[in-house]
Structure 1
Amino acid sequence: MIERIYILESVDPVIFYGVNNVNMQLIKTLFPKLRIVARGNVMKVIGDEDESELFLKKIREVEKYCEEFNSLSEDVILDIIKGKAPVITKQENLIIHGMNGKPIVARTENQQRLVKAFEENDLVFATGPAGTGKTFIAIALAVKALKNKEIRKIILSRPAVEAGEKLGFLPGEMKDKLDPYLQPLYDALQDMVPGAKLKEYMENNVIQIAPLAFMRGRTLNDAVIILDEAQNTTTHQIKMFLTRLGMNAKMIITGDVTQIDLPPTATSGLVQAMQILKGVKGIGKVEFEKKDIVRHKLVQRIVEAYDKFDSKQPRKSGSRTAPADTTNNINNSQDAP
């Protein structure tokens, strides 16, 4: 008789064990010669050495499946432990599996271009209207890279510029002040990473969410770094952010140049950066359009109505929005080396 310990390192025990421990109970019935005690993410196994080794081998396979698909069923457990390959439906343009095994895919042509641009470049600009999935796909690509152990951390950032509010005048501690600005990033992560695992990642700084001002002075290695709402950066802020890029790191910059909340006299850092970095090797660009909007179908109509209204308004001098051809100044993903 020997005793072995197995630690679930890459999955949420709640998903692995199942509702009311139904998965764990099934596993125990499949190894009747072993005494198996599971608490938290630790499983203690007592029994014959050969049987214990077989158990550990099969549990690793089950955990690997659970990590990839963020779900686990009794049928899958039976297939793996009995040596059968689980039935997996192929999903075109799949990035990762989100919560409950939901496939997260690049649904539109420009979402697919963003995936390709990320694979081929170390820095990618993704611009376009709200609701096109720019940030969601960017975060999915980052989570995939983390799961595949291509990087060691994910860093998500936003400029804390909204509707004229100043952080210093808002109530509460700094975290309380910042969380509302960063909530869209939390929402996307919660669709992709199990709650317990996400909490662990954030407590250990594997996933970091911080306002842009907190990036100063850092060199970001072995990471995917995403700057969201970049149209609201100043020229100095975006230059500072872009120069944080370290070894084995990639950046995705997202924004909508028609939704700038900076003071009227300020220049958008995103607009200027895309002009300055025209033709720079290793930089990709994907421009999303109204047809890429994947929210409620009414959102696309709303965007089109506002565009029609804005086109009839007299253009103010010193406008901070990008010229019509600005977003085409950087290499498209298919042109990138």
Structure 2
Amino acid sequence: MVEKIITLENVSLVEFLGPDNQNIRQLAAAFPGSKIISRGNEIKIQGQTAVISRINEILSALLEHYHQYGQITDKTVSQYLSSADEDQQDRLLAASPDVILFGAKGGIIKAKTANQQRLVDAVLRNDLVFALGPAGTGKTYISVALAVRALKNKEVKKIIISRPVVEAGESLGFLPGDMKEKVDPYLRPIYDALEDMLPAEKFKLYLENKTIEIAPLAYMRGRTLNNAFVLLDEAQNTTPSQLKMFLTRMGPSAKVMVNGDRSQIDLPTKQKSGLIQALDILKDVNGIGFVEMTADDVVRHRLVKQIVQAYDKFDVQMQKDQANRPPREYQPYRRPNGPGMAAADPGRHPDARREDDGMQDLPVNHEQL
């Protein structure tokens, strides 16, 4: 165990240490494996070398803050402790390239499958990436983590995340609440991911100052998205014109991701998916990355993988059945009075009942009321 002594000069001990040394006790509580003892104008630190270095950095920052503002509160200590944690995470990220991000509670966020790692690598190499695959493969979660990392590394100035709002059985106009309350349920998975990755106060601040913007796809029209990490989720539910509109918003310093699942298209039956069309149109364009996820990348409950595989098997069988189904015989349209059709009585109304249709005339009541 190493020991270090810091001498406080030109400092009011009561204002710096806090009532009953509460500021130092709060600092000591954040490093339970070490000892921080305050005696007079000296602070003695005992612990491992790396821990002592971090405590020394925080105390130096607090001293600088005191000389600038004249006081230290417990809230000030909390802010500098939080800042120190982020600095430590940044150093760990630099030393561990496979780690994407540290979550709000300190958990490590990184690729868990080979295809998830391919997605991370594709985003590093390309400014536009399409991530495709079934539910549960981590497309949204990994994409949001990459966006937060880019923001923390100051590679972008803001994060913009969007989803198409596709009505499922109910019209938005009949749902309760204002427009934000109507569309927020569609964007809930995005909020959940961000809340896992950012402290609550910082996430709230980012939303208020528009550093992070979460909005329906329709809100992207007419904008130029620059110096931003832009994510379009659930892209299989875009129309061709919507997806073209989104892709053409891309500014010169933007990083764009488009996520989708071909098997979960919620558009009307006759409406073509913009994602399916875009994959065909853009497949040979240089500088665009395409990453295909499979059921093997599912990281949810083990049953999700089996469900996805069962549906894939069912879809393959349906395609085979349709391919083997004999074509319907062609039957030309025949006009009334045309060849092969009985001649119509020109004096008879087309809706009139035939006399030999087995129906009898109903009796008529001639009584006067």
Same fold at TM > 0.5: yes
Q: What is aligned with 2:30?
A: 23
Q: What is aligned with 1:216?
A: 221
After TM superposition, the score normalised by the length of structure 1 is 0.72
Q: What is aligned with 1:290?
A: 295
> Helix, strand or coil for the counterpart of 1:267?
coil
How many Å separate the matches in 1 of 2:39 and 2:157? Answer: 36
Contact 2:137 2:297 in 1 (8 A): yes
After TM superposition, the score normalised by the length of structure 2 is 0.66
C-alpha deviation, 1:256, in angstroms: 0.2
Kindly indicate whether residue 118 of structure 2 is the aligned counterpart of residue 135 of structure 1.
no
C-alpha deviation, 1:89, in angstroms: 12
RMSD: 3.8
Q: What is aligned with 1:253?
A: 258
Letter in 2 for 1:278: K
Contact 2:195 2:203 in 1 (8 A): yes
The answer to which of 88-97 and 193-202 deviates more is 88-97
> Of 224, 232, 235, which aligns to 1:227?
232
Q: What is aligned with 1:308?
A: 313
Q: What is aligned with 1:8?
A: none
Q: What is aligned with 1:66?
A: 85
Contact 1:33 1:47 in 2 (8 A): no
Unaligned 5+ segments in structure 1 are 4-16, 36-41, 53-57, 72-85, 318-337
Evaluate the alpha carbon distance shift between residue 162 and residue 311 of structure 1 in structure 2; reply closer, same or farther with a 3 A threshold. farther
Higher relative contact order (CA 8 A, sep 6+): 1
Q: What is aligned with 1:267?
A: 272
C-alpha deviation, 1:308, in angstroms: 2.2
Q: What is aligned with 2:304?
A: 299
Matches within 5 A, 1:165-176: 165-176=170-181
Q: What is aligned with 1:13?
A: none
Kindly tell me the number of residue pairs found equivalent between the two proteins: 277
Q: Deviations over 1:173-220 (max 9, x none)?
A: 111101100000000001101111000000000000000000001111
Unaligned 5+ segments in structure 2 are 1-9, 13-23, 44-60, 72-76, 323-369
How many Å separate the matches in 2 of 1:204 and 1:154? Answer: 12
> Helix, strand or coil for the counterpart of 2:223?
coil
Q: What is aligned with 1:240?
A: 245
Q: What is aligned with 1:194?
A: 199
Evaluate the alpha carbon distance shift between residue 308 and residue 117 of structure 1 in structure 2; reply closer, same or farther with a 3 A threshold. same
C-alpha deviation, 1:102, in angstroms: 0.5
Evaluate the alpha carbon distance shift between residue 232 and residue 305 of structure 1 in structure 2; reply closer, same or farther with a 3 A threshold. same
Kindly indicate whether residue 118 of structure 2 is the aligned counterpart of residue 113 of structure 1.
yes
Evaluate the alpha carbon distance shift between residue 30 and residue 140 of structure 1 in structure 2; reply closer, same or farther with a 3 A threshold. farther
Q: Deviations over 1:128-176 (max 9, x none)?
A: 0000001111110100000001110000000001423321221111111
Q: What is aligned with 2:188?
A: 183
How many Å separate the matches in 2 of 1:263 and 1:225? Answer: 27
> Helix, strand or coil for the counterpart of 1:220?
coil
> Of 206, 212, 222, which aligns to 1:207?
212
> Helix, strand or coil for the counterpart of 1:191?
helix
Q: Deviations over 1:65-87 (max 9, x none)?
A: 4125679xxxxxxxxxxxxxx99
Q: What is aligned with 1:100?
A: 105
How many Å separate the matches in 2 of 1:139 and 1:251? Answer: 11
Q: What is aligned with 1:330?
A: none
Matches within 5 A, 1:140-179: 140-179=145-184
How many Å separate the matches in 2 of 1:208 and 1:316? Answer: 46
C-alpha deviation, 1:99, in angstroms: 2.0
C-alpha deviation, 1:315, in angstroms: 7.6
Evaluate the alpha carbon distance shift between residue 60 and residue 205 of structure 1 in structure 2; reply closer, same or farther with a 3 A threshold. closer
> Helix, strand or coil for the counterpart of 2:30?
helix
How many Å separate the matches in 2 of 1:154 and 1:275? Answer: 28
C-alpha deviation, 1:279, in angstroms: 1.4
Larger radius of gyration: 2
Q: What is aligned with 1:14?
A: none
Evaluate the alpha carbon distance shift between residue 305 and residue 24 of structure 1 in structure 2; reply closer, same or farther with a 3 A threshold. closer
User: Structure 1 vs Structure 2: percent identity of aligned residues?
Assistant: 52
Contact 2:163 2:235 in 1 (8 A): yes
